[in-house]
Amino acid sequence: MEALPALLIPGLGCDTRLYGGQLPVLFRQGATVTVANHTRSDSIAALADDVLAAAPPRFALTGLSMGGYIALEILRRAPDRVARLALLDTTARPDSPEQTARRKTQIEMAQTGKFGDLPGILFPIFVHASRRNDHTLRAVVENMILESGADAFVRQQTAIIGRRDSRPYLGSIRCPTLVVVGYGDELTPPALAKEIADPIPGAKLEVVPDCGHLSTLEQPDFMAHMLAAWHSA
């Protein structure tokens, strides 16, 4: 039987490298793998349309953080095209006023010549406390953010600020769903992952030990095994 195509959506400021530890395993399963471009538009709805326009007719969908926001919008727009769903280190809630205020500060930095300072601010928040002095991991994360560019960063943050509350839609999801969160994720902690999983019929919740917000980078082998097993189930 032909493997189901895999569609992976990165998080804020991230690209294909976010899933670098999982791609070889998915390729070995024979899957056609697409890592979505989520940099062109400044609303979650428009980004979902961008992703769908380039996606296979039917696919297994994975989204991490901002990628999860887009994935949930895709489910609302084209539920019949999503065969399986994995939501990693994300939330179904809209932005809080405090989160929006921080994002607006970061947008202003990006627009006033201080974009280069942002990776250093974001990295410690993105990863588990034990990885904050991991220079190799820091280089990967900071390079992704810098190479995404200030304009794309502003569009992404604008989209995140404007996202809608997905909680009312969770109970209508009918495809097999995996919800994953790092045990030490400070941005979208395990309680928010449980809030996603509980209303989705049959959803499976997995908590990744010794892990922060960027589970696919922090625990690449663990996540490769988990996503491969979910994808082939």
pLDDT in tens, 197-209: 999 999 999 999 9
**pLDDT (0 to 100) of residue 30:** 85
**pLDDT (0 to 100) of residue 204:** 98
1: confidence class by pLDDT, cuts 50, 70, 90? low
**Residue 39: Cβ-neighbour burial (10 angstroms; 0-12, 13-18, 19+):** middle
pLDDT in tens, 109-146: 999 999 999 999 999 999 999 999 999 999 999 999 99
**pLDDT (0 to 100) of residue 43:** 98
Question: SS3 for the chain, per residue?
Answer: CCCCCEEEECCCCCCHHHHCCCHHHHHHCCCCEEECCCCCCCCHHHHHHHHHHHCCCCEEEEEECHHHHHHHHHHHHCHHHEEEEEEECCCCCCCCHHHHHHHHHHHHHHHCCCHHHHHHHHHHHHCCHHHCCCHHHHHHHHHHHHHHCHHHHHHHHHHHHCCCCCHHHHHHCCCCEEEEEECCCCCCCHHHHHHHHCCCCCCEEEEECCCCCCHHHHCHHHHHHHHHHHHHC
97: confidence class by pLDDT, cuts 50, 70, 90? very high
**pLDDT (0 to 100) of residue 96:** 97
pLDDT in tens, 19-78: 999 999 999 988 899 999 999 999 999 999 999 999 999 999 999 999 999 999 999 999
**pLDDT (0 to 100) of residue 132:** 96
pLDDT in tens, 137-184: 999 999 999 999 999 999 999 999 999 999 999 999 999 999 999 999
Q: What is the value of pTM for the model shown?
A: 0.97
User: What are the structural domains, with CATH classification, of the chain?
Assistant: 6-95+157-232 (3.40.50.1820)
* Region 182-195 average pLDDT: 98
